[in-house]
């Protein structure tokens, strides 16, 4: 492989679906499009034939000590290449954690860019020693990228001296899932389709979606259809959702993880997007690219007002934000969107403009060229 100016390190990359993986793939693609030489070091499962800008790592994508050690061993084995790079981008929590644990081994760190997605600010500060090395890396970084005002404010509170190094750029919808302008034409008697896209996990609030549907009047339940898309990562939680579903007289389907084109088709035929992520002690919704994906298809978006979600949804303009501690707010907002077609269209049209205003090329230029 030829020497590259920039190496992006990540534990997560498509085809594994997730916000951090989307961030890395879209950033690499945008960088290539505008002529920035970049190479992504990714888990072995993500490498593809003839894709010379991807370098496979012997890791599975977790943040355990073994995974961190294997990544850093690869850094040591390729130290000459790493030192020749202009920038080393720690693009998601796994690669950042590996440097927190083993970065001290290197006598001199290359120029670092660090991306903070959100949960790092909680998880990496639990252990005093880990927090110490985390702060050390933040101070040594050349640039720190955050995707939301929430993350920027939390980061400044944690380490005020790095304020001037923080860049706020939210990112954009994934190109394979963003709207291409095709709009599905509904017939007069078709159900209103409610869509939720996320891994099946308590933090994503699928139970709140079902609870809100259960509270709808019987006549409205007959007019709606609810689709859940995403892999099951918490089986016990999924079993509870199945039980909850059986008690609701409404058409509800769990479709699992889907290929991009199938998911795109579902976006195009849906009317309302709802993802009420829940606050958790060790996790936070840093931004949420999925909200922009839904907006790009003209869907009215409904979510909880937590973390960086407020940077992805303009409350009252592109969607509706509700209080996670007041489930009745979500229930009432969902009912309103179902019965008010004019409001749905108004929010959806504004959402399209909002999503289209975001660009991965702008992020790449800010991080790697300016």
81-134 confidence digits (pLDDT tens): 887 888 999 999 999 999 999 988 887 777 999 999 888 888 888 899 999 999
Query: What confidence tens digit (pLDDT) does each residue in 135-144 have?
Result: 999 999 999 9
Q: Let me know if the fold of 6-168 is the same as that of 192-356.
A: yes
Reply yes or no on whether the pLDDT at 3 is more than 80: no
Weakest mean pLDDT among 23-32, 119-128, 237-246, 276-285: 276-285
The set of residues, in sequence order, having a beta carbon less than 8 Å from that of 307 and lying 6+ positions away, is 118, 148, 150, 151, 277, 279, 284, 285, 286, 287
Give residue 2's pLDDT.
44
Give residue 297's pLDDT.
95
d(CA 246, CA 248) in angstroms, rounded, equals 6
| Inter-residue contact 273 to 198 (CB < 8 Å) | no
Query: What confidence tens digit (pLDDT) does each residue in 21-44 have?
Result: 999 999 999 999 999 999 999 999
* CA 320 from centre of chain: 19
Mean pLDDT for the stretch of residues 164-184:
85
Q: Which long-range contacts (CB under 8 A, 24 or more apart) does 235-239 make?
A: 237/200, 237/201, 237/202, 237/206, 237/207, 238/200
Exposure string (b/e) for 165-177, b if CB count within 10 Å is 16 or more? bbeebbbbbbebb
Q: Chain-wide mean pLDDT for the chain?
A: 90
pTM of the model: 0.89
CATH H-level superfamily of 192-356: Glycogen Phosphorylase B; (3.40.50.2000)
The set of residues, in sequence order, having a beta carbon less than 8 Å from that of 28 and lying 6+ positions away, is 8, 38, 40, 53
What is the fold, at CATH topology level, of the domain defined by 6-168?
Rossmann fold (3.40.50)
Give residue 188's pLDDT.
61
Radius of gyration of the chain from Cα atoms?
A: 21
Give residue 1's pLDDT.
40
d(CA 6, CA 53) in angstroms, rounded, equals 11
For the chain, the domains span 6-168, 192-356
- Cα–Cα distances in angstroms (integers) from residue 159 to residues 83, 153, 252, in the given order: 27, 10, 46
Reply yes or no on whether the pLDDT at 281 is more than 70: no
Give residue 190's pLDDT.
83
């Amino acid at each position: 492989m030829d020497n590259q100016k920039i190496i992006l390190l990540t534990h997560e990359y498509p085809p594994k679906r997730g916000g951090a993986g989307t961030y890395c793939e879209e950033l690499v693609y945008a960088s290539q499009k505008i002529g920035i030489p970049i190479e992504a070091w990714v888990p072995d499962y993500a490498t593809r034939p003839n894709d010379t800008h991807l370098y496979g790592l012997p890791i599975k994508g977790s943040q355990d000590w073994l995974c961190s050690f294997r990544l850093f061993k690869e850094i040591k084995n390729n130290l000459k290449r790493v030192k020749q790079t202009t920038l080393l981008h720690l693009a998601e929590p796994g690669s950042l954690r590996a440097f927190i644990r083993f970065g001290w081994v290197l006598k001199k760190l290359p120029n670092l860019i660090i991306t903070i997605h959100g949960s790092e600010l909680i998880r990496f500060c639990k252990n005093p020693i880990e927090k110490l090395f985390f702060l050390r890396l933040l101070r040594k970084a050349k640039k720190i990228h955050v995707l939301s005002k929430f993350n920027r404010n939390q980061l400044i509170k944690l380490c005020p001296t790095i304020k001037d190094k923080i860049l706020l750029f939210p990112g954009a919808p994934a190109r394979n899932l963003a709207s291409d302008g095709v709009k599905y034409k509904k017939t007069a008697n078709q159900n209103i389709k409610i869509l939720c896209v996320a891994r099946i996990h308590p933090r994503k609030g699928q139970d709140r979606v079902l609870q809100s549907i259960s509270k709808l009047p019987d006549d409205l339940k007959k007019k709606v259809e609810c689709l859940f898309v995403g892999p099951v990562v918490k089986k016990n939680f999924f079993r509870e959702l199945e039980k909850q579903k059986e008690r609701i007289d409404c058409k509800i389907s769990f479709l699992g993880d889907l290929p991009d084109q199938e998911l795109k088709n579902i976006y195009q035929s849906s009317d309302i997007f709802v993802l009420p992520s829940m606050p958790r002690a060790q996790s936070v919704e840093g931004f949420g690219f999925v909200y922009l994906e839904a907006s790009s298809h003209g869907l009215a978006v409904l979510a909880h007002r937590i973390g960086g979600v407020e940077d992805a949804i303009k409350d009252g303009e592109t969607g509706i934000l509700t209080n996670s501690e007041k489930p009745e707010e979500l229930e009432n907002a969902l009912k309103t969107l179902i019965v008010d077609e004019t409001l749905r269209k108004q929010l959806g049209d504004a959402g399209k403009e909002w999503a289209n205003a975001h660009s991965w090329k702008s992020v790449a230029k800010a991080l790697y060229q300016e």
